Every structure is written in C-alpha cells, then in structure tokens.
C-alpha cells in the first residue's frame, strides 16, 4: 500500500513511518515528521482523554466527539497518502466492566467512521487484551461488512511463548501471540481488509515460529526504539537476527514504523552513516529525534542484494493465481511458446540429457555407420529439435529427427524453421497427435517436454504411454521419470483471492502461482511417480497417496490454507530438472509452483500431525485430482469426480 513517494525506491512498499502521540495540531505533526524524513505517520485520531460515558448527550441528541481538528486541516491527498489512523489504545471490548466495554465499542466505531470519512488507507487497531478477543472481533467484523477500501491493521506483538507480549503490560496473558491473530481472523471470516501490524520487540521467537508470519497478511512492522542496540560509535543498530528479519520484511513489501522515544545520544559533530535516504529537512526545523533510527532502516534497505533480472521479471506474477495450461486440449499461443523458449537453462539440461543418451546409444566405433532416430513428441516451435541437433553435433553422432506436433499453427513455424536452418535432410515435420501417429519407423530416443508444475498435470503419462508404441523395445525416453511433491503452506493472500469468487468451483481448482508471501510449514514429500517407457503388465495412471506431515514443534500452531505442489524429473541418468525447493534447478523459470486450496483452512496445533490424501483419477475423457485432510480433523473431499477442475484428454 503506497503511503508516500521517495526517489530511488525499488518497490512501491519501501516506506518508513513513525508512530506519534496525540496532538491537536495535525498539520504540524505531519509537517515535522515528513520534514524529518518519514513518509507517513501513525497518529491517534481522537483525544485519549475522551470517554463517551463522561460526555453530556444534551438530551436526545448524540454528542460530537472531540476529534483532532476537522478534515479540512489537511488536504485529501495528505490524509490518504501520509496518515495511518491509530485507534485509541485504551479501548477494551472484552472488558468485564460493562460501561468501559460500551465506551470502547462506541469509540472504535466513531474513530473508524472518521478515518473512513478522511479516506485513510489504513487504521491501526490496538492489540487484543487477555485470553479472549471474541467481542472485539465481533465489533471489528461488523465494521468490516460496511467499510470502504480502508485496511484495518491489528496490532500483534511478535513474542516468544515465555515473553510478556508488550513491554510492561500486565493485562496481556502469557500466550502465543499468533493464537490471538488466528482467533481474531477466524471470527472475522478471514476478511481481506483485516491485516497485521507486528510489534517487533527485543527478543525474537525461533526461526520456524517467525516463518509463520510470512504467509499471513502482515502490512507493517512496528520497531520499538528499545529494540535497538548501540554500536561502538553510539549509533542505534539491530542484532543480526533482527537485521535478517528486517531484510525479509522489506523483501515482502512490509512497511516499517519506528515507535518510541529516542534512546540513543548521537555524538555531537560525528559523521553518521548514510543510507542514501533523501534528507528533506526544512531549514530552521531541528533534526528529527528519531532520524538516526530511520537512517539505520534505510541503511539496511540499501544493503539488500538487488533482485536478479529474472526475479524482477516475475514480480508481477508473485502470488497471482493462474489457471494451468492444457496443451493437449488447447493449442498454445505464440506468446506462450515465446516465454518458454527463453528458458535457456531448461534446454541446456535437455541437450545434456540427449548428448549422454547418444553416447550410450552409439559407441565410438559405430559413429560412421549408425544413425540414431530421435522423435521430439510435442515439438512446439522447435526448441527441443534445436537442442537435440546441438547434442548430436557436440557428440559427433548422426541424427535423424522427427518433429511431431498436433498444433497446426506451431507446425507452420516448424516448417519455416527447418528451411531457415537448412535442416531439410535432418528433420521431418509431422503434423499429428503423438498418440495416434503411424510412424514409418521406431525411435531410438523419444524426447518430450510435457511436464507441468505438478509433473503429470499436463498429461505427460497419458501422452507418452500413447507414444510408447513408436519407441523401440530398448529405446530411451527423455524424461525417464518424474515425481510430484506437495507441501502444506500458509497463504492468506491466495486463500482470500480464491474466496473472493464466492463459489465452490474455485476452491476445487489447482492454480499455477509464483509463490512469495507464503509460509512453508514442513518439508515437501513425494506424491506420484511415473516412469517411461512403462512396460508394466497392469499399467494404470491412477494414483493414491496418503501423507503425514509433522510441523516442527518450535513453530507453534499454524494455519494451512492449502498445498504447494512441485515436481522433479530425471531426464536421463544423472541429468535432472525440477522446481522442488530443496533441489530446484537454478535459474529455470518455465514452471511456477501449483497451489491446491482448502475450502476450510486447517489449524494445526503444535505437535499435532497433518494427514493429507491425494488422488489422481482417470476417466475416458479427462484426468483430475481429488484431495482432502483427515487429521487434525476431517474435511470433505475436494473436486469429487472432477466436478470443478479437470484436464481434458
């Protein structure tokens, strides 16, 4: 959410704000903080001494609360771009004191109504108090039903189980703060306008516990001045763990807010380290007392490694749901071919695999007399044809290539490519479906790139089983094997994007996604494996797998919104390619992960197993997946009989 503009930012969310106290003079508060280098302020909208029950209603008329000036004191753009409203921190909507609870509810609604009137982009809600936040969540949920596009940031302390949630706060219980958030958002039905502002304290939970939050809708990280250490020169700095966490926040477009009083005395006349942060101090205005903290955040930002070119290209695809391709049922467009053909890493791996297969197929003493018949099935616009011919040139083997392609539009390009490259004596273009082509001879090597994000989800098994009859009994298939993998993830954004469609179909559809704002809760596990050629007597591409995931005990409880799917393929012998995170092929971009959503997110308590079932089902005209969870509790089977999502044969 862009709340300001700064020259040189690499992302829309690289802004730093400051939490301020209540002040009647809002123009002065904003001007002094923006002049001090901050992009926005998190400011109270109401005098903290105000209590509705203490006001005289003047008979039957409602009292007018003493808001901080009128909406005219700032321009509309200043309100919307530079101010985050801070709801009064004294409110407690779960208080045992009925009068106090009623006051809290009135003030919450008044302040959010005023913030909405000002067109603020966000309001900061105070942290829940005590073990229960049910009434607080009910009131917020009621507000969310009629709220405009404004975000509500629920303040949540980032704490260990044994720590006190807020420094010195006696009315917060010793609980995992994620549990507060989870209860709150469940009561609010995962509303997309309810987000998180994490309070970063001096001690941090374990790495696994921290990891949960990166799949949650965290919009801001509030860093307290007492979290900072002091370096040898007297400047504020952060511990190594805090620095790493801050880098992750910035990488996930989470805005930083500095909070608290200055606790570091900067030596007079010393040269402070610069962060290339624009110093827009107005002449005559003293240096902002929190400027050294702001500069340190800027310094951490400047230290970040720039995104690789490929990552920059993929920025627009992060956490964006796409329907998987169906290249068997649909003819791909030129732009799709163009994108995949740019993946040089993939085709180099194929070239390596073909080269090794050629060396095994033709010994050195038979090079002059032997010609290998290689068939590229699903040739597209020819990248595998080119890779195969380059492998033949590299190894000195003779090659005869059949380029088999069912898409008539791609066949036109193949014929042009053959003429352009002078391959007329080497390559025969075949316009046919590999499953029903009557080949004039059998292949020594069958090469294909029919793999999808989940390995078999673009029907590689069915296609290659159908083409197997044109492969010699001792022939080689490239790829020779591939395995799909799944992994439980927290993915709040993806879940809300699916939920926004308000139907069953979208919750029973698998999506291709460039995963970014997700928390991977346990290592991935293999699901389905296919081998080619497959000469099994009882050949079937139906599969069923039950998996049991153990979420690390130091993670704490976590919510599972669905499953990320990957694949790993053996092309030939030791040549592989894939996207499974622990062994992914570097710098390859042809495939994003696949995402299987859950209709009802599953909360997994610390130490409880997650039991998952996946089916690959086959019919006469389609193939589809079904999936479900049976532990810690049972969910309905998703996509029964392929009613919502299927791949056409």
Task: Kindly report, residue by residue over 298-323, the tens digit of the pLDDT.
Answer: 999 988 888 888 788 888 899 999 98
Whole-number pLDDT of residue 414:
97
- The answer to whether the annotation marks 293 as part of a ligand binding site is no
Classify the C-alpha dihedral 191-195-201-206 as positive or negative. Answer: positive
- The answer to whether the annotation marks 301 as part of a ligand binding site is no
Give the mean pLDDT of 78-107. Answer: 95
Whole-number pLDDT of residue 313:
80
Whole-number pLDDT of residue 135:
97
**Domains contained in the chain, CATH given:** 16-56+63-306 (3.20.20.150), 347-440 (3.40.50.150), 481-648 (2.70.160.11)
Cα separation of 620 and 632, whole Å?
35
Active site residues: 449, 458
Give the mean pLDDT of 340-357. Answer: 96
Backbone angles phi, psi at 80, to 5 degrees: -75, -30
- The answer to whether the annotation marks 347 as part of a ligand binding site is yes
Given strand 609-618, what is the order of strands in its sheet? 543-550, 609-618, 622-631, 647-648
Q: Among 57-66, 407-416, 503-512, 524-533, where is mean pLDDT lowest?
A: 57-66
Burial (CB count within 10 angstroms: exposed 0-12, middle 13-18, buried 19+), residue 3: buried
Classify the C-alpha dihedral 177-182-185-190 as positive or negative. Answer: positive
Are the beta carbons of 521 and 558 closer than 8 angstroms?
A: yes
Cα separation of 450 and 461, whole Å?
9
For the stretch 110-124, pLDDT in tens is: 999 999 999 999 999
Q: Among 172-181, 211-220, 402-411, where is mean pLDDT lowest?
A: 172-181
Helix, strand, coil in percent for the chain, rounding step 5: 30, 25, 45
Whole-number pLDDT of residue 547:
98
Indicate the pLDDT class of residue 324, thresholds 50, 70 and 90.
confident
pLDDT top residue among 617 and 325: 617
Q: Among 5-9, 117-121, 349-353, 488-492, where is mean pLDDT lowest?
A: 5-9
Please list, residue by residue across 49-73, b when 16 or more beta carbons sit within 10 angstroms of its beta carbon and e when fewer do: ebbbeeeeeeeeeeeebebbeeeee
Are the beta carbons of 82 and 39 closer than 8 angstroms?
A: yes
Whole-number pLDDT of residue 4:
43
- The answer to whether the annotation marks 360 as part of a ligand binding site is no
Whole-number pLDDT of residue 65:
54
- The answer to whether the annotation marks 462 as part of a ligand binding site is no
Q: What's the longest Cα–Cα distance across the chain?
A: 108
Give the mean pLDDT of 343-347. Answer: 95
User: For all residues of the chain together, what is the average pLDDT?
Assistant: 90
Both tokens of residue 484? Answer: 């799909």
Are the beta carbons of 252 and 185 closer than 8 angstroms?
A: no
The answer, yes or no, to whether residue 646 has pLDDT greater than 50, is: yes
Backbone angles phi, psi at 208, to 5 degrees: -65, -40
Whole-number pLDDT of residue 316:
87
For the stretch 585-637, pLDDT in tens is: 999 999 999 999 999 999 999 889 999 999 999 999 999 999 999 999 999 99
How much is the pTM?
Answer: 0.91
For the stretch 154-206, pLDDT in tens is: 999 998 655 444 444 444 445 789 999 999 999 999 999 999 999 999 999 99
Whole-number pLDDT of residue 616:
98
Whole-number pLDDT of residue 56:
55
The answer, yes or no, to whether residue 147 has pLDDT greater than 90, is: yes
Indicate the pLDDT class of residue 516, thresholds 50, 70 and 90.
very high
- Please enumerate in sequence order all residues whose Cβ is within 8 A of that of 196, keeping only pairs 6 or more positions apart, or say none: 153, 154, 156, 181, 213, 216, 217, 218, 219, 220
Cα separation of 376 and 332, whole Å?
17
Whole-number pLDDT of residue 169:
43
| Range with top average pLDDT, 66-75, 295-304, 435-444 | 435-444
For the stretch 260-289, pLDDT in tens is: 999 987 655 555 554 444 444 445 568 899
For the stretch 450-460, pLDDT in tens is: 999 999 999 99
Q: How much of the chain exceeds pLDDT 90, in percent?
A: 79
- Please enumerate in sequence order all residues whose Cβ is within 8 A of that of 112, keeping only pairs 6 or more positions apart, or say none: 85, 87, 123, 143, 147, 150, 152
Whole-number pLDDT of residue 391:
98
Whole-number pLDDT of residue 59:
45
- The answer to whether the annotation marks 375 as part of a ligand binding site is no
* Rg of the chain taking only CA atoms, in angstroms: 30
Whole-number pLDDT of residue 458:
94
Whole-number pLDDT of residue 7:
44
Give the mean pLDDT of 311-338. Answer: 87
Whole-number pLDDT of residue 159:
83
Question: What are residue 610's DSSP bridge partners?
Answer: 549
């Amino acid at each position: 959410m862009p709340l300001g503009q700064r020259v040189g930012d690499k992302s829309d969310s690289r802004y730093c704000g400051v939490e301020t106290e209540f002040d009647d003079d809002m123009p002065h508060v904003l001007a002094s903080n923006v002049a001090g280098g901050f992009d926005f302020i998190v400011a109270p909208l109401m005098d903290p001494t105000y209590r509705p029950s203490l006001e005289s209603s003047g008979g039957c008329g409602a009292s007018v609360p003493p808001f901080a000036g009128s909406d005219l004191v700032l321009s509309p753009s200043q309100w919307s771009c530079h101010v985050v409203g801070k709801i009064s921190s004294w409110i407690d909507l779960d208080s045992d004191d009925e009068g106090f609870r009623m006051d809290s509810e009135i003030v919450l609604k008044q302040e959010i109504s005023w913030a909405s009137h000002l067109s603020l982009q966000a309001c900061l809600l105070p942290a829940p108090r005590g073990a229960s936040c049910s009434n607080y969540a009910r009131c917020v949920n009621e507000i969310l039903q009629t709220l405009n596009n404004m975000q509500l940031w629920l303040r949540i302390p980032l704490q260990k189980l044994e720590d006190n949630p807020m420094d010195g706060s006696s009315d917060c219980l010793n609980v995992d703060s994620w549990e507060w958030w989870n209860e709150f958002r469940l009561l609010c039905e995962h509303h997309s306008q309810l987000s998180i502002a994490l309070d970063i304290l001096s001690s941090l939970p374990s790495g696994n516990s921290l990891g949960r939050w990166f799949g949650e809708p965290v919009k801001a990280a509030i860093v307290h001045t007492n979290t900072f250490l002091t370096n040898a020169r007297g400047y504020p700095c952060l511990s190594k763990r805090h620095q790493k966490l801050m880098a992750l926040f910035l990488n996930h477009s989470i805005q930083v807010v500095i909070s608290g009083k200055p606790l570091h005395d900067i030596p007079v006349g010393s040269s402070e380290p610069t962060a290339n942060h624009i110093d827009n101090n107005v002449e005559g205005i003293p240096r902002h007392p929190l400027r050294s903290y702001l500069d340190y955040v800027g310094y951490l930002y400047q230290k970040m490694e720039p995104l690789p070119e490929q990552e920059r290209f993929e920025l627009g695809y992060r956490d964006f749901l796409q329907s998987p391709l169906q290249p068997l049922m649909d003819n791909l467009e030129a732009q799709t071919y163009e994108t995949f053909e740019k993946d040089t890493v993939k085709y180099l791996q194929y070239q390596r695999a073909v080269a090794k297969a050629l060396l095994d197929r033709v010994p050195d003493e038979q090079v002059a007399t032997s010609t290998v018949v290689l068939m590229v099935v699903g040739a597209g616009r020819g990248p595998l044809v080119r890779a195969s011919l380059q492998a033949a040139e590299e190894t000195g083997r003779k090659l005869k290539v059949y380029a088999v392609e069912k898409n008539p539009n791609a066949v036109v390009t193949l014929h042009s490519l053959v003429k352009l490259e002078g391959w007329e004596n080497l390559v025969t273009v075949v316009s046919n479906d590999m499953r029903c082509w009557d080949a004039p001879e059998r292949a020594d090597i069958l090469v294909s790139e029919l793999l999808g994000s989940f390995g078999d989800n673009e029907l590689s098994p069915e296609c290659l089983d159908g083409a197997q009859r044109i492969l010699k009994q001792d022939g080689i298939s490239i790829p020779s094997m591939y395995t799909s993998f799944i992994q439980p993830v927290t993915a709040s954004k993806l879940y809300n994007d699916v939920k926004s469609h308000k139907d069953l179909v979208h919750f029973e559809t698998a999506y291709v996604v460039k995963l970014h704002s997700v928390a991977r809760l346990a290592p991935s596990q293999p699901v389905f494996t296919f081998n080619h050629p497959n000469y099994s007597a009882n050949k079937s591409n139906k599969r069923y797998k039950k998996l049991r995931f153990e979420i690390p005990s130091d993670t704490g409880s976590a919510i599972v919104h669905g499953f990320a799917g990957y694949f790993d393929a053996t092309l030939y012998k030791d040549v592989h390619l894939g996207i499974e995170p622990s062994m992914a092929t570097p710098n390859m971009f042809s495939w994003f992960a696949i995402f299987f959503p859950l209709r009802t997110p599953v909360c997994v308590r610390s130490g409880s197993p997650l039991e998952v079932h996946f089916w690959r089902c086959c019919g006469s005209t389609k193939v589809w997946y079904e999936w479900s969870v049976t532990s810690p509790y049972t969910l309905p089977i998703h996509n029964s009989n392929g009613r919502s999502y299927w791949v056409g044969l």
